[in-house]
């Protein structure tokens, strides 16, 4: 199945809310003057540019599998080097132990079996360097469960059986896995309460990310009906407040791990 194209402008609708976890992740990575910094899953690049600001003397590279996202990133006024590449392909090609800070923000949830990638991710980092990543942890919330229930019903189900959906683990799982590699690990979870405005704001949020492949996989004659039913369910699950805004609780899982060994 051909992956659904990403829409950078749609994704950036709630850029401030999406960016806050990246900033908080970055604040807990205490690298002083890294030479090589890589952002795997850089998206439209607005957050990767913060890495170049944080470490102005570093070579910063942003990698994403979406050509549309990387095209948007290349339009930014920054020194970051951009590349279109799947995360797994990058891991196969990178020379082990050459990255000082390896960042992945809201990306690993799209990679099936990504716990198996923790070993090569750690292996790409220099001794004493840092691996920092963040993944959503809200897959039991109505924003996802409503989509899943609707997608399991006909006439939609026959079109959606093989459509990818994001999945992730809790902080304790990542903590234990990375400790097995000898890493010093800081893992935590935060639930944000995003106050969103605009028409059907929760749908606007999820249709840019987690629900994007589902909606794109439907034929034209069913897509509008699915979207209408999904929006209706989301309105009930996330009712507007008196001022018209909607509160979206969003749990996220953070991990910052220092790779064992002396920094060179």
pLDDT in tens, 14-38: 567 888 999 999 999 999 999 999 9
106-142 per-position pLDDT tens digit:
999 999 999 999 999 999 999 999 999 999 999 999 9
Average pLDDT, the chain: 92
Q: What pLDDT does residue 224 have?
A: 96
Mean pLDDT of 101-107: 96
Domain 8-258 has CATH 3.40.50.150: yes
| 208 — pLDDT class (breaks 50, 70, 90) | confident
Q: What pLDDT does residue 10 have?
A: 52
Q: What CA–CA distance (Å, rounded) separates 12 from 205? A: 9
Q: What CA–CA distance (Å, rounded) separates 203 from 14? A: 12
Mean pLDDT of 93-98: 96
Torsion of CA 195, 197, 203, 208, to 10 degrees: -90
Mean pLDDT of 38-42: 96
Angle between helices 220-237 and 142-151 (to 10 degrees): 140
pLDDT at 11 over 70: no
Q: What pLDDT does residue 209 have?
A: 84
Q: What CA–CA distance (Å, rounded) separates 108 from 112? A: 8
Instruction: Pull the structure tokens for residue 17.
Output: 């809310």
Q: What CA–CA distance (Å, rounded) separates 264 from 260? A: 12
Q: What pLDDT does residue 62 have?
A: 97
48-89 per-position pLDDT tens digit:
999 999 999 999 999 999 999 899 999 999 999 999 999 999
pLDDT at 264 over 60: no
């Amino acid at each position: 199945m051909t992956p659904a194209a990403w829409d950078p402008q749609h994704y950036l609708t709630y850029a401030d809310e999406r960016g806050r976890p990246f900033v908080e992740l970055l604040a807990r990575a205490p690298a002083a003057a890294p030479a090589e910094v890589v952002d795997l899953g850089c998206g439209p690049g607005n957050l990767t540019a913060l890495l170049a600001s944080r470490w102005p003397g570093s070579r910063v590279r942003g990698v994403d599998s979406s050509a549309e996202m990387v095209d948007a990133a290349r339009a930014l006024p920054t020194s970051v080097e951009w590349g279109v590449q799947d995360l797994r392909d990058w891991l196969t090609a990178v020379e082990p132990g050459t990255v000082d800070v390896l960042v992945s923000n809201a990306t690993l949830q799209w990679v099936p079996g990504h716990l198996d990638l923790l070993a090569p991710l750690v292996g790409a980092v220099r001794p004493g360097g840092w691996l920092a990543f963040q993944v959503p942890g809200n897959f039991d919330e109505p924003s996802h469960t409503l989509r899943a229930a609707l997608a399991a019903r006909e006439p939609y189900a026959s079109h959606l059986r093989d459509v990818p959906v994001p999945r992730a683990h809790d902080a304790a799982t990542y903590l234990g896995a990375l400790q097995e590699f000898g890493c010093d690990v800081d893992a935590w979870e935060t639930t944000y309460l995003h106050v969103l405005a605009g028409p059907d704001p929760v749908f606007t949020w999820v249709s840019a990310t987690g629900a994007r492949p589902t909606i794109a996989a439907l034929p034209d004659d069913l897509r509008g009906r699915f979207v209408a039913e999904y929006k209706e369910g989301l309105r009930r699950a996330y009712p507007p407040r008196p001022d018209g805004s909607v509160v979206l609780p969003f749990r996220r899982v953070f991990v910052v791990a220092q790779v064992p060994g002396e920094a060179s």
